[in-house]
């Protein structure tokens, strides 16, 4: 049966995954989809209310959900130690936490840069350094997935340091993928574009393109719709699974075609152009 083919080829059942930022937004979709495939999930998220809600939603699944901030190395370390104590194995790490604010670069200061680098890059390094020896010890290989962004692949006016930090995550992943390839530990990125989540709505409040009407979506996104959390979580499940057993050091783009179309828009009435029609 098709279901058995997916289940056995994916080989996720009974594996153990750490997901940072797994209680809300894209992270929550990733945790639910991994759990639905039999993965035992360990989550660290700073939103205590969302953590309690996730615990309720995952009742009946073997999970470990903690409130804490990934920017604190001690909180990450404690989560990995709790995973050791509970399951004694680790197969997958998904680094979801990231975020930004909007400001022209020249109006930002070192304090803001540090905050963006800590929120988007430093914890990924910490989490990987904690995960790799544990995955390696299992001798079964494993998978690391970073949630990055399309802004790691193009200019992002108003988001210069965020884009730079996410590009650093992607480049780090490429090197780590090569260093860990002999261990069968794969390292990949997933780079979404526009998926409405609470934090994206906050950014829209700061003046980032809201893309709220069907016409605006059809102009900017080749597939003419906003992304859904499951568009992203499906990519993460695939990369975590044995279906991606020979995929490493690369990036998947669940973005409805915006990375491919970069700079081209499907203008209402006039169609595709890489400039504003009539100007």
Ligand X SMILES: NC(=O)c1ccc[n+]([C@@H]2O[C@H](COP(=O)([O-])OP(=O)(O)OC[C@H]3O[C@@H](n4cnc5c(N)ncnc54)[C@H](O)[C@@H]3O)[C@@H](O)[C@H]2O)c1
Q: Residues in the site for ligand X, rule: CB under 6 A?
A: 21, 23-27, 44-47, 50, 69-71, 96-99, 147, 149, 192, 194-195, 197-200
CB of 127 to ligand X, least distance (A): 11
Cβ 264 vs Cβ 272: under 8 Å: yes
CB of 84 to ligand X, least distance (A): 20
Nearer residue to ligand X within complex by CB, 164 or 245: 164
Over the range 32-65, which residues count as b (16 or more CB within 10 Å of their CB) and which as e?
A: bbbbebebbbbbbbbbeebbeebeebbeebebbb
Instruction: Considering the candidates 162, 194, 246, 259, report the single residue annotated as catalytic.
Output: 162
* CA–CA dist 151, 81 (Å, integer): 34
Q: Is 259 a catalytic residue?
A: no
Nearer residue to ligand X within complex by CB, 96 or 167: 96
CB of 168 to ligand X, least distance (A): 13
Nearer residue to ligand X within complex by CB, 143 or 149: 149
Nearer residue to ligand X within complex by CB, 103 or 272: 103
Nearer residue to ligand X within complex by CB, 12 or 150: 150
Look up tokens 């903690």; give the residue.
66
Nearer residue to ligand X within complex by CB, 40 or 46: 46
CB of 96 to ligand X, least distance (A): 5
CB of 56 to ligand X, least distance (A): 15
CB of 91 to ligand X, least distance (A): 21
Active site residues: 162
């Amino acid at each position: 049966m098709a279901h058995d083919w997916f289940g056995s080829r994916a080989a996720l059942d009974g594996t153990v995954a750490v997901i940072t930022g797994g209680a809300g937004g894209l992270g929550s979709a990733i945790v639910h989809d991994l759990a639905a495939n039999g993965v035992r999930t360990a989550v660290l998220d700073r939103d205590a209310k969302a953590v309690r809600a996730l615990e309720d939603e995952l009742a009946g699944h073997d999970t470990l959900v903690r409130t804490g901030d990934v920017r604190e190395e001690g909180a990450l370390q404690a989560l990995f130690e709790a995973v050791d104590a509970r399951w004694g194995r680790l197969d997958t790490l998904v680094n979801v936490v990231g975020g930004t604010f909007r400001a022209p670069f020249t109006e930002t200061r070192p304090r803001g840069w540090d905050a963006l680098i800590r929120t988007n890059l430093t914890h990924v390094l910490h989490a990987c350094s904690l995960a790799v020896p544990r995955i390696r010890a299992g001798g079964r290989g494993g998978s690391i997935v970073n949630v990055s962004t399309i802004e790691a692949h193009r200019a992002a006016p108003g988001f210069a340091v965020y884009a730079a930090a996410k590009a650093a995550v992607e480049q780090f992943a490429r090197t780590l993928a090569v260093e860990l390839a002999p261990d069968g530990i794969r390292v990949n990125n997933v780079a979404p574009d526009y998926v409405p989540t609470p934090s994206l709505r906050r950014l829209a409040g700061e003046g980032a393109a809201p893309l709220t009407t069907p016409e605006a979506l059809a102009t900017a996104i080749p597939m003419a719709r906003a992304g859904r959390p499951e568009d992203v979580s499906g990519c993460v499940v695939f990369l975590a699974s044995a279906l991606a057993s020979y995929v490493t050091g690369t990036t998947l783009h669940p973005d409805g075609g915006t990375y491919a179309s970069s700079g081209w828009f499907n203008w209402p009435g006039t169609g595709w152009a890489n400039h504003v029609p009539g100007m």
